[in-house]
Structure formats: C-alpha cells, structure tokens
Structure 1
C-alpha cells in the first residue's frame, strides 16, 4: 500500500516566470544636479568671502543686521560698490574690489583727459616738424653760395613757433642805407629760404626791425616805422619768388626799433634785421581768434654776439 501511495502522489512542477526589471525614473538626476549646484554655490561663497577684506565683511554684516540704518547713513556695503571682486567694476585697472560711484571718472572727465592727451601729441608732432625745418634751413645755409651768411642768421624756438632772424652786418648790410632795396647778395638767401619754408604748411609772419638811429626829422613823413614795414614787405616778395606760396604769409609788419635785439646797444647794426616766424597752431589760432587765451610768455631773444661799431643811419 505504501508503494501505491507514492505512485498516486501528484507531481507539481513550479515554473518561475522571469520578468524584466522595472524602469527606474530620472528623479535621481535632478537630485544630483541640485547637489552639484549647491556645492558650486558653496565653494563660490567661500571664495568670495576669502577675497573680501575685513572692512567689507563688517559692512555686509552691518547691512544684514541693521539694513535700514546702513541704507540711511551710508557706508561700505550700502550700495556704493560696483563689484566686490578685486579688479572688477567699471575700471579693470583698479586694485580694490569696491569702487565708489563718486570715485568713478565721469564721461566729461574722460573726454577732457583724452583731449589733453591728443593735444600733447599734436604739440609733440608740431615741435618735431619745426625742428626738422630748422635742420633744413641749416642745411640750406651750409651750401657754398650761402655759407658767408651763416653768421647773420639766428634761429630759435619761441612761443609763436620757429623764428629765423636775418641780422645786419657792418660789412654786409641787407639793404641800402635808409632804403628798402634788397642787396643783390641777399636776394639769393631770401629766395633759398622761401623754397625751404614752402615745405611746411604753417603760416609765416614777417617782421622788419631797425636800429634806434632816427630816420629824418621829428616831423618827417618817412620814419623808421615806414622803413621797417617796407623792408619786411620787400623780403616777402623775394620769399615768394623763391617758392613760398603767397597765401602762406599771414602777417607783414614793421616794428622800427621797438624790440632791439641788443638792448644795451640800440644803435648796433645787429638790431637791423628781418624776422621770419614759422607760426605754430596756437599762434595762428590766436591771430584768427584774438579772444583765445594767451598762455605763457615769449622767451627772450638769444644773446647776440659782440656788436660792431654802429653805422650812421638805420
């Protein structure tokens, strides 16, 4: 019977059905991103605190402790900074992180500074050009035909520009005595200077000077004033014949003996001279607009050589 019982027992077969894993959601990615963002913000906060001075930290603390009082009374951390990062703000050249708005240069101040810098560059360029012109005049004088007149030419920089003075000599006067007629040997010098002066665009002033010996009597109709003006105008004509554009001559004037070169010897021949002034931009601007400020003072003329015995007559 026992064997029969075993035969009658049913055989149960368990079949396990394998199924796929349930799909996981993406919620963990959002949590991880929040964690990374929080850590980045934390380290950024630590870096900012480390780069902030103690005074700024105290100002920030005061602002959060008593924001109304700080906002009313002012102070660090009360909105007077453009950046708390060193070198930040509107001016990247600053070493301090915070920059007060009142310390930031305005547009008008920046524009004025830029104009001053541009003005300085223009002045340097003009001085360089006039210095180059002076060297050209010296080269022209050193030519074989003009070398004898080297001692009669004086050049210096004045407030108005480059001044070229052709002075008289006891043995080699520029004009006939009491006349505006140019000596033949001076024609070549004036025309050579006219060609050199034509190489620059600057305006030219021509001044005539005489010595203190009076021409004619007190009631004479032709005095040193008329003579100096006529000699300056005669020099202008020779400069133009040498190549100087007529429109480049801005002013021709006779000054008689009012500005002697040798003050201690007003009758010395060296006082009889023709001054050619290559005007700079400021001098030309003051001529066209006399209301412009006249800055500086004209330097004194260079000391002249020992004066020769005075010649009778201007």
Structure 2
C-alpha cells in the first residue's frame, strides 16, 4: 500500500473574466463638466436679458476692476446694474428704461396738470367775457400720443379765418393770445398745424390750394401766438395738412374740419421731430451749450 502522505497537493485557482476596478474619478470629472456647462448657459441667458447700458457697465467693470476697489462710487450702467463703477454714468443714456419711464411720467403729469389748468382758465375767461362764451364749443382739448392738443375749430357762420384766406377773425386773435400766455408756463416745445375742409379753389390744386391755405393759416396763428407773448424759441414745427386729416370723416365739407391744432409736445415727441429733421435733442443741446444760447 502506498503512503498517502507522500502525495503532492494540487491547488486549482480559477481566474475570473472581466475588467478590473478603475475607481470613481471619472464621475467627479463629469460632474465638474456638467456644472461648468450649466454655469455657461446661465451666464449667456443673463447677458442676453440685460439692457445695453447695464452691459456696458459690466464690460467697463471687468476692463478696469481696480477703479471700484480703489475709488468706489457710481459708474457705467448704474441705473440697473449691481456692479458699481467702471466708466461714465449711463443712467441718462438711450436704452435705459428706468430713465425713460421717469421722463415720460413727468411729462404726462405736467401736461395733465396743464390741461386742467387751461380748462379752468378758459372757464373763468368765458364767465368774464361774454364774447368768448359763444365760442366755447370751438375750443377742444385732449391728450394725444405727442402730448396735449388744443384745437380751435370752425362752426357754421362762425369761422376762425376769413373765407379762403389766412386773415384771422378778431375772436380768433383774442383766443390765440390767451393761449400764448398759458403755453409759456411750461418748458415744452409747441407744434402748430393747419387743416381745411375739402372745398376746392376755382383754380384747382395746381394753383393756390388747400395745402397752401392750411400752411398759411398755421403760420398766421404762429404770428398771433408770438404777438400774444409766446417765445418764438418754443415753436418747433409748423405744418399744413390741407384736407387729408378731417375731424369729421363722414362729411369732409363739415366746417369743423377747418381748424388750427396746437400740440404741447412731450419729450419723446420733441426728440422724434428733431431726429426726423436731422438733429437729435442731445446734439441740439450740445450746440446750445457751445454757443451759449
């Protein structure tokens, strides 16, 4: 019998397939990447939603951040930005909604108060002057997009001007002079326009027409306002519209279509008119400062 204790011991090792363990470092790198992308898209969204003035303020801040830490104070884009300093104050720059809203609100309040005051003034004048009382229906006030509009309209057998001419009737002169004193109480510029009905001249539109007549009547009203004390610097525009903008569209021959329209302009309307004429309000102000006017 053989000795079992002398037999060799064989150990079988089974190798398992598959990949070895690499750790979790890749998860951290992926999380950092996702966080960075989220921050990038959030930054893009924020930059796309700010105003131009605020954007310039942010740009100026990062271009010269030491200015804030050294001197502090207000700076570019200060109207809405949390970042102070870094350039010129842009709170009055075009595109700043905050400043535009404030100016518009002041204009609206001033013109509304002007309308109420004028209505009260004319009511008192009508009580004191029996001649003006018969013309009260010919004076119309309303608020339009450009500002406060004051219209003096014709009535049947009671025209503002002599027929077919720019010669003012006496009551029209009195009324325009009353309005002139009233307009000087506000700093706003004034626009004048003349309108006619659709009655034609014998010579037709090739000769003297409603276009010339409406412009001549507007200028005659301008001269009377100045004679009544209105500063000629306040008149920004004088227009003749002929018969193209009737008050009574159903009856283009209605005397009410013959009228003078005076608009006390708000800030936006004045700026638009200056830009249409080729000069912005800022440019006009700069010229006035240089010339001392």
Shorter-chain TM range is 0.5 to 0.7
Contact residue 197 and residue 244 of structure 1 kept, 8 A? yes
C-alpha distance in structure 2 between counterparts of 1:178 and 1:135, whole Å: 34
Aligned with 2:121 (options 118, 140, 161): 140
Contact residue 166 and residue 213 of structure 2 kept, 8 A? yes
Secondary structure at the counterpart of residue 213 of structure 1: coil
C-alpha distance in structure 1 between counterparts of 2:33 and 2:245, whole Å: 68
C-alpha distance in structure 1 between counterparts of 2:204 and 2:38, whole Å: 81
Contact residue 216 and residue 222 of structure 1 kept, 8 A? no
TM-score (norm 2): 0.64
Give 1:69's aligned residue.
30
For these two proteins, the number of residue pairs brought into alignment is 210
C-alpha distance in structure 1 between counterparts of 2:248 and 2:160, whole Å: 18
Q: Which runs of 5+ in 2 are unaligned?
A: 1-23, 58-76, 81-90, 279-293
Q: Which runs of 5+ in 1 are unaligned?
A: 1-62, 81-99, 293-314
Secondary structure at the counterpart of residue 160 of structure 2: coil
Task: Find out whether 1:117 has 2:88 as its counterpart.
Answer: no
Contact residue 176 and residue 221 of structure 2 kept, 8 A? yes
C-alpha distance in structure 1 between counterparts of 2:244 and 2:44, whole Å: 55
Query: Where do 1:45-56 residues align within 5 Å?
Result: none
Instruction: List per-residue Cα deviations over 1:91-138 (Å, max 9, x = no partner).
Output: xxxxxxxxx656766642984757212211211110001111111221
The alpha-carbon deviation at position 210 of structure 1 amounts to 0.8
Contact residue 208 and residue 273 of structure 1 kept, 8 A? yes
Give 1:15's aligned residue.
none
How well do the aligned residues superpose, as a CA RMSD in angstroms?
2.9
Aligned with 2:245 (options 255, 259, 268): 259
Contact residue 216 and residue 223 of structure 1 kept, 8 A? no
C-alpha distance in structure 2 between counterparts of 1:266 and 1:149, whole Å: 22
C-alpha distance in structure 2 between counterparts of 1:160 and 1:152, whole Å: 21
Contact residue 152 and residue 259 of structure 2 kept, 8 A? yes
Secondary structure at the counterpart of residue 289 of structure 1: helix
C-alpha distance in structure 1 between counterparts of 2:277 and 2:155, whole Å: 39
Task: Find out whether 1:154 has 2:140 as its counterpart.
Answer: yes
Give 1:181's aligned residue.
167
Which has the greater radius of gyration? Answer: 1
Query: Where do 1:68-107 residues align within 5 Å?
Result: 68-74=29-35, 107=54
Give 2:186's aligned residue.
200
